[in-house]
A = this chain, B = another copy of it.
Amino acid sequence: MKFFEKLDLEIAKKSPICVGLDPHFDFLPREILEKNFKKHGENPRGAAAAILEFNLEIIDAIYDLVPAVKPQIAFYEKWGSEGILALEQTISYAKKLGLLVIMDAKRNDIGSTAQAYAEAFFEKDSDLRVDALTVTPYFGSEGVLPFLEIAHKNNCGIFLVAFTSNKGANEIQEPIKDSLIEKINNFHLDFGNLGAVVGLTRNDLVELRKKMKDVFFLVPGFGAQGGSPENIKKVFFDNKKALISASRSVIFAYKDRNDKDFKKSARKEVERMKKELVTLEI
């Protein structure tokens, strides 16, 4: 089955929520860190082991509530090969529990380099194989096509990082807006395995939703500042083709809630989000 078909099915069964696995070192529960540093040393191996233990606990806590997890690879790459090994083990565990895995890596390159990235994340025998990958379009169509083609061959998906919410985003994203929207619609028509990353706090959400009405949106920022009910409604407007993503507000909910049990806190936060979406009639 193709990625977006699987995603639609799982969303229907569970929710349109994706949990970001961004194991920011400074926020990991102290007891997990100390235990793993004691066992492996205060080094990349110890840090990676702590991240893995944390991730598996989080996945256990939320896997029946959401269709997908989205690891942000930077937080694993920070610990080098040990971190990437922890990422591979996280992917494997998430898949075993029936979760789709969207790798947030924002890769971008051309030719055989783009191909090598795509093979890392999509080929059946790769330990980093996931269901979908975020890709940035700085090299134009030629930098997106190799990802789309190899994803397509492996029934995987691409989320093109299109219009983000950060302060300086429009320095580059505004001048190319219309042409990128056109490209995204065409890629979607040609391949059927392309979605777009769109920031939740943008003030042109209605316009973007209308101009790319058949394109699936991956929307980070739920739970963070600015994820107002109005914006959430705009994202899901009309056809509900969206997956809304929350990372730190879920996995580190124990900090905000002052709760020692990070698993329970994460689960509670996802349940709260689900309820919020129901209230909004999404």
**B175 and A139 contact, CB distance less than 8 A:** no
Looking at A136, A137, A180, which has the most chain B CB atoms within 10 Å of its CB? A136
Determine the distance from Cα of A225 to Cα of B195 in the docked complex, in whole angstroms.
Answer: 34
Interface residue stretch chosen among A10-18, A110-118, A265-273: A110-118
**A126 and B80 contact, CB distance less than 8 A:** yes
- Chain B residues near A82 (CB-CB < 8 A): 81
In chain B, what residue has the closest Cβ to A121?
B77
Determine the distance from Cα of A255 to Cα of B179 in the docked complex, in whole angstroms.
Answer: 41
- Chain B residues near A116 (CB-CB < 8 A): 24, 72, 74-75, 77-78
- Chain B residues near A120 (CB-CB < 8 A): 74, 77-80
A143 at the interface (CB under 8 A from B): yes
A282 at the interface (CB under 8 A from B): no
A172 at the interface (CB under 8 A from B): yes
Interface residues of A in 97-142 (CB under 8 A from B): 106-114, 116-117, 119-120, 126-128, 136-142
**A85 and B74 contact, CB distance less than 8 A:** no
- Chain B residues near A140 (CB-CB < 8 A): 166-173
A164 at the interface (CB under 8 A from B): yes
- Chain B residues near A166 (CB-CB < 8 A): 110-111, 139-140, 142-143
Partner of A77, one of B74, B110, B117, B172: B117
A78-B120, A80-B127 known; 15 other A-B pairs, CB under 8 Å? Answer: A44-B127, A72-B113, A72-B116, A74-B114, A74-B117, A77-B116, A78-B117, A80-B88, A81-B81, A81-B85, A108-B108, A108-B136, A140-B168, A141-B171, A175-B176
A residues engaging B (CB < 8 A)? 22, 24, 44, 72, 74-75, 77-82, 84-85, 87-88, 106-114, 116-117, 119-120, 126-128, 136-143, 161, 164, 166-173, 175-176, 179-180, 183
14 contacts between A and B (CB under 8 A): A74-B107, A74-B114, A74-B116, A75-B116, A77-B116, A77-B128, A106-B107, A108-B136, A136-B136, A138-B172, A138-B173, A139-B168, A140-B167, A172-B176
